Amino acid sequence: MGRRNGSRAGKRGDDEHSRGGTLEGKGGALGGGGGGRDRDRRDEDEESLVEKQRRGQWDSQWEFIFSCVGLSVGIGNVWRFPYLAYENGGGAFLLPYFILLLLVGKPMYFMEVALGQFSQLGPLSVWKMAPIGRGVGFAMCTLSLIVAIYYNVVMGYCLHYIYNSVASRLPWEFCDPAWADMET
């Protein structure tokens, strides 16, 4: 029975040491038992949390990958690419497309992601390292603006036709005589 009580006292003492306490109370003569290390670890965790919030890092690797896929795959991949491939020769178009994709597209995409992650700056600010490339940053912003306008117009048309397709009388079902060509 004494052994059991002694082991409990030992466990109780170990628990107190692991929490930074001592057998003689907090800050006693027997030392802190690692309390300083715990405090340092908490300070580092708080600093890394503040830095993470300030720098805006990804929570996981998958979040970054899905964000890259979402950026890369858009209406053009699903809607326009099959049409453009057909208009430019079908299967014969795919060979130069994939060659240029591997030799030009993927390296440029990798460079953009690498520069953005390394510098953690936007497309205009990142080119402070090489001022001759500032035009690339302006072109990236301009193209993003054009694509955003284009996508909004396409989405506006989609919403317009979805909204009008549930009406009892479809607007495109009958031709308004004012718009009709009377000769045909």
Residue-wise pLDDT tens digits, 65-124: 888 888 777 776 777 888 888 888 888 888 888 899 899 988 988 888 888 888 888 888
Say if residue 50 is in the same domain as residue 105.
yes
Angle at the Cα of 119 from the Cα atoms of 145 and 112, rounded to 5 degrees:
50
Q: Let me know: does 126 contact 119? Beta carbons within 8 Å.
A: yes
* 131 is a domain residue: yes
Residues 64 and 99 in one domain: yes
Residue 102's pLDDT is 92
- How many domains does one find in the chain? 2
91 shares a domain with 51: yes
pLDDT at 53: 60
* Tokens read off for 41: 């670890």
Looking at the structure, tell me whether residues 143 and 112 fall in a common domain. no
More confident residue, 44 or 90: 90
Domain shared by 135 and 103, yes or no: no
Task: For 113-161, write each residue's pLDDT tens digit.
Answer: 888 888 888 888 888 888 888 888 899 899 989 988 988 998 899 899 8
Domain that holds residue 60: 45-120
Whether 39 is covered by a domain: the verdict is no
- Does 27 fall in a domain? no
Same structural domain for residues 67 and 99? yes
Is the pTM here over 0.85, yes or no? no
Residue 181 in any domain: the answer is no
- C-alpha 184/C-alpha 182 separation (Å) is 6
Residues 107 and 127 in one domain: no
Q: 95 near 102, Cβ under 8 Å?
A: no
What angle (nearest 5°) sits at the alpha carbon of residue 88, between those of residues 83 and 94?
Answer: 85
Are residues 75 and 151 in contact, defined by beta-carbon separation less than 8 angstroms?
yes
Residue 33 contacts residue 14 (beta carbons within 8 Å):
no
Angstrom distances, CA of residue 33 to CA of 25, 41, 88: 11, 14, 74
115 vs 21, more confident: 115
Are 126 and 139 part of one and the same domain?
Answer: yes
How many C-beta atoms lie closer than 10 Å to residue 33's C-beta? Answer: 19
Does 136 or 15 have the greater pLDDT score? 136
